[in-house]
Amino acid sequence: MRKQQRADHLLLRLEELYPETPIPLDHISPYTLLIAVLLSAQCTDIRVNQVTPALFQIADTPEKMRLVPIEKIREIIRPCGLSPTKAAAISKLSEILVEEHDGKVPQSFDELEKLPGVGHKTASVVMAQAFGVPAFPVDTHIHRLAKRWKLTSGKNVIQTERDLKKVFPRESWNKLHLQIIFYGREHCSARGCDGKTCMLCREVNSKI
C-alpha cells in the first residue's frame, strides 16, 4: 500500500470502529474545556474528569476563577501533576480573558497560544472541539500511531501534524484525531503493539 492508500483505508476503518466520538474531557463551555485540556498535560483524561468537578464548582468562568487564590487552585488540581505551574497558568489566563477578551475564550489560534500554559496542541483541541474549526491536535498517542502506520517520518508532533493534514481530508480532522486516540488507547498502546500486532497495524502494514 502507498501512503495515501493506507490513509484512505484507515479513514474508512476508523469510521466503522468509532462512528461516534464523544469529547473525552467533561466540560460545559469553551472556558471549562480550555482548563480541562490544560490540566490534561502529562495526565490522563480520567484523572482530569475526577478533578474538574470540584474546581468548576467554585469557579467555572474566568471572572470567578481570577478571584480564587492560586493556592486553592493548586490544592484542587494537585492529582493532575505539575500543579504549581498549572495553577499559575489557570489563574493568569483567567485574568487575561477578563481584561483582554471580555471574559470569552478567543476563537483564534494566535490569541489562544498567547495565553499562559496554552501551546499549539491545547489551542488545536479548543478550536476543534469548542468552535468546530478544522484542526488536527497531535499528542504522543497520535504521533506513535502515525509512525506505526507509516503516515509520517516526523521526529516530533509538529511534523506529524503537517504530514497527517496532507493525507486526510480537512473535513475529517476534528473527528479523526479523536478516533485515532480512541483506537490507540483500546488496541494500539505503547506496550500493547509493536506496529504489527493490532488489527489496523496488520491491515496497513501487511502490503507495504
Active-site residue list: 121, 139
* CA distance linking residue 125 with residue 138, whole number of Å: 9
* CA distance linking residue 184 with residue 206, whole number of Å: 19
* CA distance linking residue 150 with residue 125, whole number of Å: 24
Closest to 55 in 3D by CA, of 81, 78, 77: 77
Residue 34, class by beta-carbon neighbours within 10 Å (0-12 exposed, 13-18 middle, 19+ buried)? buried
Closest to 90 in 3D by CA, of 104, 106, 70: 70
